[in-house]
Chains A and B, each alone.
Chain A
């Protein structure tokens, strides 16, 4: 079955710097890759997603890139702010199948 690895597990950046989180997946048939932000004690919030027919997607300060050949995708956050501090999860799925989540990255943005 699908397996998703996520790195790093923790990431600390200064406010205004960029943050990059990377995920790799094992099943080349996976075609949907969402990213979720989870704040303490809350449910995950979908922040951006990408499908296998595109290589990059951007939404204001957040972007996701997908390399199908290498089977990895990344989340890029520019001009980080303290409110970006949270745990970020990547996930992958095939068709309408269930999501397989990465292990999470705890991002801390210091003022």
Chain B
């Protein structure tokens, strides 16, 4: 149990376009989902916390208009990188929260902006 699916695993896009990443909890309902960014050989940096049916809470320094988060159901959250630029290239990882603050992670999405 506790499977989190993240798609796509790898995406290449042109500068200025938008990219959507999906995160699904397959076998449990997640009232809270988290979005992280990870640079090479570095730790996970929390971008935002997403609660089903309400607005996401963004960490300091994260542009909410650039990284749009939608958590429409208990099993699906999406992250849209709007008007992507090369500096947005990174590894994006979602996690879904289960009871008592246990988080299960997706496999990650590698975004390359040309």
Show the binding face of A for B, using Cβ within 8 Å.
32, 34, 36, 41-46, 49, 51, 89, 93, 95-99, 101-104
Contact = CB atoms under 8 A, between A and B. Distances in A.
Interface string B41-54: 11110100100000
Contacts of B6: 43
Contacts of A99: 34, 46, 101, 103
Given A44-B93, A98-B34, 7 more contacts: A32-B100, A36-B105, A43-B107, A46-B102, A96-B32, A96-B97, A99-B46
Contact of B108 (A42, A51, A97, A98): A42
Contacts of A42: 107-108
Contact of A97 (B93, B101, B102, B107): B101
Contact of A101 (B4, B44, B100, B104): B44
Contacts of B49: 98
A41 B105 contact: no
Interface of B: 4, 6, 32, 34, 41-44, 46, 49, 93, 95, 97, 100-108, 110
Contacts of B93: 43-44
A22 to B, nearest CB: 16
Nearest to A4: B43
A102 to B, nearest CB: 7
12 contacts: A34-B103, A41-B110, A43-B6, A43-B93, A43-B95, A43-B108, A46-B104, A51-B100, A93-B101, A99-B103, A101-B43, A104-B43
